[in-house]
Amino acid sequence: MSFLLEIQVRPNSSRNKVGGSVGEPPRLVVAVQAPAVDGKANNAVIKELAAAFNIRARDFTIVFGELGRDKRLLVSGDVKTLQTRLEELMGETPRLL
């Protein structure tokens, strides 16, 4: 099973962090130290999300926003477990698409 995950990326951050939310509907915030150049930030985002959700990086696919800060990713895995972890990371009940 899989679901769409909406995130906002903050490249060039002082540290890597996954957590918090922004906007309406709420999007998970992913801060990475990597610059938004040559896909470096996208690679760092997927690596950080994989660690945060404790799943493989290949289970994430960017389906929208590859060149922007607002992205949608298709995440494969047990939806109930992933949703629970997402709620923990965001600190609220998210709206899954």
- Check the CA dihedral 70-94-87-4 and report its sign: negative
Residue-by-residue pLDDT tens, the chain, 97 positions: 888 999 999 999 999 999 999 988 899 999 999 999 999 999 999 999 999 999 999 999 999 999 999 999 999 988 999 999 999 999 865 444 4
* DSSP at 28: E
- Residue 25 has a pLDDT of 86
**Contact between residue 49 and residue 73 where contact means Cβ atoms under 8 Å apart:** yes
> Global pTM?
0.90
CA distances to 11, 37, 41, 62, 91 from 82, in Å: 24, 29, 22, 17, 14
**Contact between residue 50 and residue 28 where contact means Cβ atoms under 8 Å apart:** no
Domains defined along the chain, listed by start: 2-90 (3.30.1200.10)
- Residue 1 has a pLDDT of 81
- Residue 94 has a pLDDT of 46
Residue where the block lists tokens 């938004």: 36
